[in-house]
Amino acid sequence: MFSKSCEYAIKAMIFIAQKSKDEARVGIKEIAKGTDSPEHFVAKIMQDLSRRKLVHSVKGPNGGFYMDHFDLKTSLADIVKAIDGDSIYKDCVLGLKACSEKNPCPVHNEFKEIKKNLIMMIEDNTIGDFNEKLDSGKFFLRNK
Amino acid sequence: MFSKSCEYAIKAMIFIAQKSKDEARVGIKEIAKGTDSPEHFVAKIMQDLSRRKLVHSVKGPNGGFYMDHFDLKTSLADIVKAIDGDSIYKDCVLGLKACSEKNPCPVHNEFKEIKKNLIMMIEDNTIGDFNEKLDSGKFFLRNK
DNA sequence: AAATTAAAAGAGTTTAATATCTTTTAATGG
DNA sequence: CCATTAAAAGATATTAAACTCTTTTAATTT
């Protein structure tokens, strides 16, 4: 559904949200361990998310990544678009460039509905929402 | 959403269905041209689909691929499973091996609904259905 | 100001997906 | 049964995604 990079990005964002109550900073190593992700790879992805202002970062001692109240409003769609681009939004499922509403491929209408639901869902759900889910103790990010 | 291989597979299957009224056979070159796909690559994919009995093939002069009445009942899901495997069915969107109904990741329930709809749709829709759509003249497979 | 810390940036490697090319096998027609 | 045709199979090449390592920059602490 999403690329590995995107999976890591989503997990990292949720992890940072969890850890950054009262502006605390989380380092790359902690993020990598906390999300079972390859450290240097997730570091690259964080650079991206940071450049795109989806998280804040500070260098130096006690530095790291954090999210403020506003950052919690970041939607899944924001992350997906940042990392995987908008192919979910605009590309034909069969890869047909000519496919459109006026010139639909045979599977166009069936996937239109699916994609609409998917897009609505990722637009609606924010990091803050998932953060609260984890807080409830009924959902888990760790893999072991 | 799907791999390139899977896109080619779906397009090839629909194309063959179109061409195999009265048991006619379609060659690899014709399939490749008719679906804007790389010839040798689509040949490999057809080997797979043929081995898995989703299409019939005959070698030699006037040989090629074809589908009988029964083959038209092949669902999109059959093709997806044959080529991309069942990761849509069983893998966590965040790649968490520990994620399950009892141990859900934060995005589990949101994607559960999306995936359910997607799976139902690909299970329900057959090559025969898309074949009829193309026959209606309101849908198109060609890319130019 | 110097030492230290941690992210940013850049460069490089590995692996898997995509794509191509060649040889073999099996069917058909002459 | 020989020549031809076309898929099957196998081997190779290319590209992009995934992952790693090193150097640089910018903070902080002492």
Q: What is the pLDDT of residues A80-98, one digit of tens each?
A: 999 999 999 999 999 999 9
B-chain residues near A93 (CB < 8 A): 1-2, 7
Q: Quick one: CA dihedral B136, B139, B143, B144, positive or negative?
A: positive
Q: How is chain A split into domains, by residue range?
A: 4-135
Percent of chain A at pLDDT > 90 equals 95
Q: What is the pLDDT of residue A22?
A: 73
Domain spanning A4-135, CATH architecture: Orthogonal Bundle (1.10)
pLDDT for residue A144:
76
Tell me, what's the pLDDT at A110? 98
How do residues B64-105 score in pLDDT, each as one tens digit?
Answer: 999 999 999 999 999 999 999 999 999 999 999 999 999 999
Judged by C1' against the alpha carbon of B55, the nearest nucleotide is: D7
What is the model's pLDDT at position B23?
79
Whether pLDDT at A21 is above 90 = no
Question: Out of A118-127, A131-140, B22-31, which region has the weakest mean confidence (pLDDT)?
Answer: B22-31
Query: What CATH topology corresponds to B4-85+126-135?
Result: Arc Repressor Mutant, subunit A (1.10.10)
Mean pLDDT of A32-50: 98
Q: How confident is the model at residue A54 (pLDDT cuts 50, 70, 90)?
A: very high
Give residue A15's pLDDT: 98
* Euclidean distance between CA atoms A33 and A28, whole angstroms: 9
DSSP code of residue A123 = H
Question: What single-letter amino acid sits at A76?
Answer: L
Q: What is the pLDDT of residue B134?
A: 97
A56-80 pLDDT, tens digit each = 999 999 999 999 999 999 999 999 9
Distance B56 CA to D2 C1' (A): 27
> Where does residue A81 rank: exposed (0-12), middle (13-18), buried (19+ CB within 10 A)?
middle
The rounded average pLDDT for each run of 10 residues, N- to C-terminus, in chain B (144 residues) is: 98 96 91 97 98 97 96 98 97 97 98 98 98 97 87
Cα–Cα distance measured from residue A126 to residue A14, given in angstroms and rounded to the nearest whole number: 9
Q: How long is chain B?
A: 144
The set of residues, in sequence order, having a beta carbon less than 8 Å from that of B42 and lying 6+ positions away, is B8, B12, B28, B31, B32, B35
B136 touches chain A (CB under 8 A): no
Of A74, A122, A51, A138, the C-alpha closest to B102 is A138
- Phi and psi for B41 in degrees, rounded to 5? -70, -45
- Summarize the confidence of residues A13-31 as an average pLDDT: 94
**B99 touching chain A per CB within 8 A:** yes
Q: How far is the CA of A15 from the C1' of D10 (A)?
A: 46
The pLDDT mean for chain A works out to 97
Cα-based torsion angle of the residue sequence A55, A36, A82, A49 in order, rounded to the nearest 10 degrees: 30
